[in-house]
Amino acid sequence: MPRAELDLLQGTLDVLVLKALSWGPRHGHAVASWIRATTEDDLNIEDGALYTALHRLEKRGLIEAEWGLSDNNRKAKYYELTDHGRRELRQEADRWSRYAGAVFKVLRATRTAAAR
Amino acid sequence: MEEEIEQEIGFHLDEEIRGLVSAGFTREQAEGEARKRFGSITDTRESLARIDRERRMQERRASKFQDLVQDVGYAFRGFRRQPGFALMVILTLGLGIGANATMFGVVDRLLMRPPAFLKHPDRSGRVYLRRPVPDGAERIDNNISYRRFQELSAARSFEAAAAFYDDQQHAVGSGESARRMDVSLVSASFWPMFNISPALGRFFGEDEDRTPGGSPVVVLGYGFWQSEYAGDRGVIGKQLLVGPRPYTVIGVAPNGFNGMSARRVAAYIPITAGAHDEFGDRYFATHNISWLEMLARRKPAMSAEAADAGLTLTFQQSLDAQPENRPEMIARSRAELTSALYQRGPNRSNEARVAVWLAGVAAIVLLIACANVANLLLGRSLRRRREIAVRIALGAGRRRLLRQLLTESSLLALMGGAAGLLVAHFGGGVLQRALLPGVDWSTVPLLDSRMLVFAAAMVVITGLLTGLLPAWHAGRTDLTVSLKAGGREGSRSRARVQTGLLVAQAAMSVMLLVGAGLFLRSLRNVHSIDLGYDPFRLIVVQPIMRGERLTPSERGALTQRLLDRARTTPGVEKATLTFGVPFWRSNTIDLFVPGRDSLTGLGTFYQNLVAEDYFEATGTTIRQGRPLTLSDRSGPSRVAVVSETLAEKIWPGQDPIGQCVKINADTMPCASVVGVARDVRWGSLGDNDRMQIYGPMNLEDSGWLFIRTTGKPALLVEPLRRELQRLMPGAAYVNVLGVSSTLDFVLRPWRLGATMFTLFGVLALVVAAVGLYGVIAYSVTQRTHEMGVRAALGAKRGDLLRLVVGEGIRITVIGIVLGAAASLAAGKFLASLLFGVSASDPGTFILVAVVLLGVAGLASLIPAWRAARADPTSALRAD
């Protein structure tokens, strides 16, 4: 994937992961599956990139990790949002909607609206 | 950590594969798809490992920082609970570190810091010339002639060279404000050797520094410009009388610059101009006048040895051009470039040695202070040993505890260092001016970066010294012993360590006190020398003609007028004339007595020419015969007065009155001895300079005035100067000062040694006494139970007192013995600085021992008294 698109993707990934964890702790595979399902695979995210995002978010202190048992009794690493992470998620979501909203306004504008 | 990553990745792949298989893929297809969806596994593995490593490091750093904050908070809480302890430690360390920081500043100034603004100090230096002298030794000179300077400047070793001469007694100004000031005569090439630009105007150049006479231009020193001209920017072009003629001000040197001088320089003039004023045309033609110094910088590519070799060659060629120099002398002559600091060259004076000694003394004081603090901390940590044991038992790592103890001592050291800098700042100024008066300390800020670095180093060393001992000791705590209630036997090793520290303190105190005692006795001996006159009632007046030409009779008339005016000035008891002043100006002669072989073996003969009233004015009483009178001046026969020792040595057992003595040559007519006077110490304080012969002085000779005052001379100096200055013609002026100030210079080394050693000695004693008190007090509280048992078993109060005080005395005695041994060993090095007392003077040692025992006894008695008063029953119940 070209580098520029990759960087943009990393920032986006972070907010997707944070959102994925907003309902409670999940392990990495669950996060991956959920994102793929919700975006209907439109974003073509590599799982490896996702795990990198998870570990980075852990390093930044936005999520914390704990080993636990999965449904089928296997050892899995569960991730959970911290308070800091929750705040970050809110801010990022806010910024994204404003950003997207602004872009959307421009794209929907008619010629007359621009002339005025 | 890699395992976890593997597990996580593995889990993901397994789950993914499982999902794909249940969606209908075959096993193989599922594996392939899962890997495809994952991306590069190895890359991911690496990234995750890197991220996790960074995270761990972050966490470790954060937790370490948290630990530190915790330790600091804990330490501060501890200090707040026992503020007296903390204060005492900080004070002790503050004094120790402050003393060291100040001494460092002094030593730095003398020995380490090159002249301000000097370019490339590592390659620059003064030129020293070595020449063999007839008796086989070597003469080392840093004073060279102008011609030699010119020849040596051409040496290929040098990148730059300049000549300079710092005259401390140059006449500046005119009329009532005429004074002797520090004036530097420098070559035009001097200025570019420093990184400076003028504060005003410009510096003089080659054109103004040409032989024979240069140009009469002057660059003012910054301080002089501020004090004399109030920083007036219109000073350029004004005339200033320097030496005998007016010089035009062309510029002002920048602030903080003093050339190569340590003192505050008032003005800089071209060396050719100043030389011409002083020596006329002769100075640059011959090699006979060696007066200036040479500052040079060697080329960067040359090593010091190569530069010296090249310089020596040039020097030898220069010597060779003089026909009077013999080849073998030339061959053994050398020239070298040595440090720019005078005190590091071969002709260094005593000042540097004294300063280094005192720095050593300050270091000892710091050691004592550290020992004290270590003891206190040790005691404190032992008081908390149960708490420490509990913490260890509950799982706190020993390392963590060690760190905590070290944090405590480091904090104390840090605060002590801050206190020390305060001490250095306020007390340091006083110390510096006492040690090296005349030096311009304004160029060196008291708290500059070097001293801060030094203080920081001291703080670190102190923190380690004081903290390691208790920390190491606490680390060896035996858990079970400490946890048991009433672990009151106390560890053997603790007692040994504490005792050891106390003994060391006592020993070091002994060394300092012995030094103080020896110096004090030297000082007393010096003060009690019979100088032969009354320096504390005498003023000397030195008329300086400064180029004004007077005929002998005019000079005589002036002298008479000065005498008359002085005699009528209130506060003056007597006024007389003298040629010489002890320790300042003297004339040595040869004496011949008819019928005797040469008298040269008897010692040095000083001649002084004096007017009437001389002996009464100076207090040099006449023992036999009569003094010189007015009629002797122009009388028909020649008369003389001799000193007691001279009479004794030349005519032992005979009556010296009426004897004949011939001055300077056997063919001279006899002078008849008419009186014998008290001995005067003229050239030095030793016993060899006590032979004087006095003759009558004529008014026309260039005599100085001796004034005897009724009260303190200091009060009369300025009024007298003003009165007499009015009588001086033209640019001439009078230099008036109290005779006692000529003695200051002679007495300074002993005064200094006595002051410093006493100061530090008393400091050390106080610190050691406080340390002893603290340790004994602690030991007593630990042994409260034991005391109670003893009291219950019948011991009386006296017995208990003896027990405790005995311990203190025992420690002190061991310390005294060790300290005395060390003092005797070090005494050899001190011997040359003493006067009239040997470095192993038993009286001093005994006195010091008695003082120390007394102090130790008192320091032990106070806690012992309190212990003995304790109620036995509560003592028994104590823990």
- Delineate the domains of chain A, giving CATH numbers in brackets: 3-115 (1.10.10.10)
- The reported pLDDT for the residue numbered B188 is 92
Residues 6+ apart with CB under 8 A from B745: B583
* Mean pLDDT in residue range B541-556: 82
Kindly report which listed range (B207-216, B472-481, B850-859) carries the lowest average pLDDT score. Answer: B472-481
Kindly report which listed range (A35-39, B34-38, B372-376, B472-476) carries the lowest average pLDDT score. Answer: B472-476
The span from the CA of B161 to the CA of B818, in Å, is 54
CA distance A10 to chain B (A): 13
The span from the CA of A3 to the CA of A10, in Å, is 11
The span from the CA of B156 to the CA of B306, in Å, is 10
Name the residue with higher pLDDT: B763 or B555: B555
Q: Which of A55, A57, A60, A78 is most worth mutating to test chain B (most B CB atoms within 10 A of its CB)?
A: A55
CB B141 within 8 A of CB B131: yes
- Max mean pLDDT range (B117-126, B405-414, B759-768): B117-126
- The reported pLDDT for the residue numbered B489 is 47
Q: Which of B15, B16, B36, B52 is most worth mutating to test chain A (most A CB atoms within 10 A of its CB)?
A: B15
- The reported pLDDT for the residue numbered A109 is 84
- Grade residue B791 by pLDDT with cuts at 50, 70 and 90: confident
- The reported pLDDT for the residue numbered A46 is 85
- The reported pLDDT for the residue numbered B768 is 78
Amino acid at position B360, single letter = G
Going by C-alpha positions, the residue among B22, B11, B59, B17 that lies closest to residue A78 is B11
Q: Which of B2, B6, B7, B11 is most worth mutating to test chain A (most A CB atoms within 10 A of its CB)?
A: B11
A59: nearest CB among B12, B38, B51 = B51
pLDDT at B345 over 50: yes
Q: pLDDT by residue (tens digit) across B214-238?
A: 889 999 999 899 988 888 889 999 9
- The reported pLDDT for the residue numbered A6 is 53
The span from the CA of A93 to the CA of B442, in Å, is 64
Interchain CB distance below 8 Å, B47 and A52: yes
* Mean pLDDT in residue range A8-33: 87
Q: pLDDT by residue (tens digit) across B675-688?
A: 999 988 877 777 66
Arithmetic mean of pLDDT over chain B = 82
SS3 annotation, B45-71 = HHHHHHHHHHHHHHHHHHHHHHHHHHH
Residues 6+ apart with CB under 8 A from B583: B682, B683, B742, B743, B745, B746
* Mean pLDDT in residue range B845-854: 89
- Grade residue B190 by pLDDT with cuts at 50, 70 and 90: very high
The span from the CA of B692 to the CA of B581, in Å, is 12
- The reported pLDDT for the residue numbered B487 is 47
pLDDT at B623 over 70: yes
A28: nearest CB among B8, B14, B37 = B8
- Grade residue B347 by pLDDT with cuts at 50, 70 and 90: low
DSSP 8-state class, residue B260: T
Name the residue with higher pLDDT: B389 or B265: B265
Q: Which residues of B723-795 form beta strands (DSSP E)?
A: 733-738
Name the residue with higher pLDDT: B102 or B49: B49
- Grade residue B797 by pLDDT with cuts at 50, 70 and 90: confident
- The reported pLDDT for the residue numbered B249 is 93
The span from the CA of B652 to the CA of B667, in Å, is 24
- The reported pLDDT for the residue numbered B579 is 87
Residue B315 CB burial class (10 angstroms; 0-12, 13-18, ≥19): buried
Going by C-alpha positions, the residue among B16, B281, B260 that lies closest to residue B146 is B281
**Phi/psi class of residue B490: alpha, beta or left (left: φ > 0; alpha: ψ in -120 to 50)?**
left
Q: pLDDT by residue (tens digit) across A25-51?
A: 999 999 999 988 888 777 778 888 899
- The reported pLDDT for the residue numbered B747 is 75
Kindly report which listed range (A65-79, B271-285, B568-582, B606-620) carries the lowest average pLDDT score. Answer: B271-285
Pairing of strands B704-709, B572-578: antiparallel
H-type alpha helices, B82-183? 83-107, 146-153
Q: What is the number of residues in chain B? A: 879
CB B540 within 8 A of CB B739: yes
A59: nearest CB among B8, B39, B54 = B54
Residues 6+ apart with CB under 8 A from B157: B296, B298, B299, B302, B306, B307, B308, B310, B311, B314, B337
CB B658 within 8 A of CB B673: yes
pLDDT at B446 over 60: no
DSSP 8-state class, residue B276: H
- The reported pLDDT for the residue numbered B706 is 92
Token digits of residue B656: 């010296």
Token digits of residue B741: 């100030």
Matching residue, tokens 């036999």: B624
Going by C-alpha positions, the residue among B54, B40, B195, B16 that lies closest to residue B114 is B195
Task: List Cβ<8 Å contacts ≥24 apart for B835-840.
Answer: B835/B522, B835/B523, B835/B525, B835/B526, B835/B685, B835/B750, B836/B521, B836/B522, B836/B525, B836/B526, B837/B518, B837/B521, B837/B522, B837/B525, B839/B518
- The reported pLDDT for the residue numbered B319 is 84
Q: pLDDT by residue (tens digit) across B531-547?
A: 888 888 899 998 877 76
pLDDT at B112 over 80: no
B39 CB neighbours in chain A (<8 A) are: 46-49
Token digits of residue B613: 């009233």
Q: A-B interface: how many C-beta pairs under 8 angstroms?
A: 63
Strand, helix or coil at B272?
helix
Pairing of strands B217-220, B267-270: antiparallel
Residues 6+ apart with CB under 8 A from B713: B536, B537, B538, B539, B707, B738, B739, B740
CB B513 within 8 A of CB B366: no
Token digits of residue B193: 């050797």
DSSP H or E segment with residue B411: helix B398-435
Q: Which residue of chain A has the CA closest to B41? A: A48
- The reported pLDDT for the residue numbered B57 is 93
Token digits of residue B486: 């009433």
A52 CB neighbours in chain B (<8 A) are: 44, 47-48, 51
- The reported pLDDT for the residue numbered B181 is 85
Q: Which residue of chain B has the CA closest to A50? A: B38
- Grade residue B878 by pLDDT with cuts at 50, 70 and 90: low
CB B311 within 8 A of CB B156: no
- The reported pLDDT for the residue numbered B687 is 67
Interchain CB distance below 8 Å, B37 and A28: no
Matching residue, tokens 């004897």: B659
What is the value of ipTM here, to two decimals?
0.86
* Mean pLDDT in residue range B156-160: 87
Give the CA distances from residue B209 to residues A51, B253, B269, B271, B325, in Å, rounded to whole numbers and listed in that order.
Answer: 81, 17, 9, 7, 30
Interchain CB distance below 8 Å, B8 and A49: no
pLDDT at B407 over 60: yes
Apex CA B417: angle with CA B415 and CA B418, to 5°? 65
Task: List Cβ<8 Å contacts ≥24 apart for B276-285.
Answer: B276/B212, B276/B213, B276/B214, B277/B243, B277/B244, B277/B245, B277/B547, B278/B243, B281/B212, B283/B145, B283/B146, B284/B146, B284/B147, B284/B150, B284/B211, B284/B212, B285/B147
Matching residue, tokens 């200094």: B752
- The reported pLDDT for the residue numbered A2 is 54
Rounded to 5 degrees, φ, ψ at A108 are -85, -10
Matching residue, tokens 């001799």: B642
Q: pLDDT by residue (tens digit) across B729-754?
A: 877 778 888 888 777 777 776 777 77
Residue B637 CB burial class (10 angstroms; 0-12, 13-18, ≥19): exposed
CB B130 within 8 A of CB B139: yes
- Grade residue B484 by pLDDT with cuts at 50, 70 and 90: low
Burial annotation B328-364 (CB, 10 A radius, 16+ → b, else e): eebeebbbbbbbbbbbbbeeeeebbbbbbbbbebbbb
Burial annotation B791-808 (CB, 10 A radius, 16+ → b, else e): beeebeeeebbebbbebb
The span from the CA of B873 to the CA of B486, in Å, is 16
- The reported pLDDT for the residue numbered B738 is 87
Measured CB to CB, residues of chain A less than 8 Å from chain B are: 27-29, 32-33, 46-49, 51-52, 55-56, 58-59, 67, 70, 74-77
Interchain CB distance below 8 Å, A51 and B44: yes
